[in-house]
Amino acid sequence: MNSEGRGTTQPHPVSENRLPETFTGNRALQLEEGLLFEIGRTDVSGVDLPEPPPFRDRLGGHARTTAPDLPGLSEPEAMRHYVRLSQMNYGIDSGIFPLGSCTMKHNPRLNEKMARLPGFADVHPLQPASTVQGALGLLSELSHVLLELTGMQAVALSPKAGAHGELTGMMSIKAAHEAHGQTGRRIVLVPESAHGTNPATAALIGYQVRAIPARADGTVDVQAVRDALSDDVAALMLTNPNTCGLFERDVVEIAAAVHEAGAYFYCDGANFNAILGKVRVADLGVDAMHINLHKTFSTPHGGGGPGAGPVVLSEALAPFAPVPALVTTENGLRLAEDKGAAGAEQALGRMSAFHGQMGMFVRALAWMLSHGSDGMKQASEDAVLSANYIRASLSDLMSVPFPERPAMHEALFDDSWLHGTGVSTLDIAKALIDEGFHPMTVYFPLVVHGAMLIEPTESESKASLDLFIAALRDLAMAVKGNDKARFLGAPHYAPRRRLDETRAARKPVLRWTRPAPLPEAAE
pLDDT tens digits, residue range 431-476?
999 999 999 999 999 999 999 999 999 999 999 999 999 999 999 9
State residue 15's pLDDT score.
46
State residue 342's pLDDT score.
66
Asked whether the predicted pLDDT for residue 1 surpasses 60, the reply is no
State residue 11's pLDDT score.
44
Do the domain assignments include residue 321?
yes
In what side-by-side order are the strands of the sheet with 187-191? 154-156, 311-313, 288-290, 264-268, 233-239, 187-191, 208-212
Give the residue-averaged pLDDT of 72-78: 88
Place 520 in a pLDDT band, splitting at 50, 70 and 90.
Answer: low
Strand partners, 136: none
Q: Are residues 251 and 346 in the same domain?
A: yes
Place 331 in a pLDDT band, splitting at 50, 70 and 90.
Answer: confident
Q: Strand locations in 332-448, DSSP E?
A: 332-336, 411-413, 441-442
Nearest to residue 78, comparing CAs of 101, 105, 47? Answer: 47
Q: Are residues 464 and 333 in the same domain?
A: no
Q: What is the CATH number of the domain that holds 264?
A: 3.40.640.10
Place 72 in a pLDDT band, splitting at 50, 70 and 90.
Answer: confident
d(CA 475, CA 428): 7
Q: Are residues 400 and 328 in the same domain?
A: no
Q: What is the CATH number of the domain that holds 388?
A: 3.90.1150.10
Q: Are residues 362 and 379 in the same domain?
A: no
Give the residue-averaged pLDDT of 57-84: 87
Give the residue-averaged pLDDT of 492-498: 88
Place 6 in a pLDDT band, splitting at 50, 70 and 90.
Answer: very low
Give the residue-averaged pLDDT of 280-286: 97
Asked whether the predicted pLDDT for residue 67 surpasses 70, the reply is yes
Q: Are residues 403 and 283 in the same domain?
A: no
Q: Which domain holds residue 348?
A: 110-366
pLDDT digits (tens, 9 = 90+) for 235-261: 999 999 999 999 999 999 999 999 999
State residue 522's pLDDT score.
56
State residue 18's pLDDT score.
66
State residue 69's pLDDT score.
78
Q: Are residues 336 and 384 in the same domain?
A: no
Nearest to residue 309, comparing CAs of 167, 105, 136, 199? Answer: 167
pTM: 0.89
State residue 193's pLDDT score.
85
Q: Are residues 253 and 358 in the same domain?
A: yes
Do the domain assignments include residue 513?
no
Do the domain assignments include residue 419?
yes
Do the domain assignments include residue 247?
yes
DSSP state of 203: H
Report the greatest alpha carbon distance in the chain. 88
Q: Are residues 205 and 348 in the same domain?
A: yes
Question: Which range is most confident: 40-54, 264-278, 336-350?
Answer: 264-278
State residue 68's pLDDT score.
79
d(CA 482, CA 48): 61
Question: Considering 313, 347, 366, which residue would you say is the last residue of a domain?
Answer: 366
Asked whether the predicted pLDDT for residue 175 surpasses 90, the reply is yes
Number of structural domains in the chain: 2
Q: Are residues 151 and 259 in the same domain?
A: yes
Asked whether the predicted pLDDT for residue 163 surpasses 60, the reply is yes
Do the domain assignments include residue 462?
yes
State residue 10's pLDDT score.
47
Q: Are residues 393 and 295 in the same domain?
A: no
Number of C-alpha atoms within 13 angstroms, CB side, residue 134?
Answer: 10
pLDDT digits (tens, 9 = 90+) for 343-388: 677 888 899 888 888 999 999 999 999 999 999 999 999 999 999 9
Do the domain assignments include residue 76?
no
Q: Are residues 251 and 296 in the same domain?
A: yes
State residue 519's pLDDT score.
67
Give the residue-averaged pLDDT of 405-416: 96
Do the domain assignments include residue 96?
no
The DSSP result for 433-489, as a single string, is HHTT-PPPEES-STTSTT-EEE---TT--HHHHHHHHHHHHHHHHHHHTT-THHHHT
Q: Are residues 354 and 387 in the same domain?
A: no
Do the domain assignments include residue 61?
no
Q: Contact 177/357 with Cβ under 8 angstroms? A: no
Place 3 in a pLDDT band, splitting at 50, 70 and 90.
Answer: very low
State residue 339's pLDDT score.
78
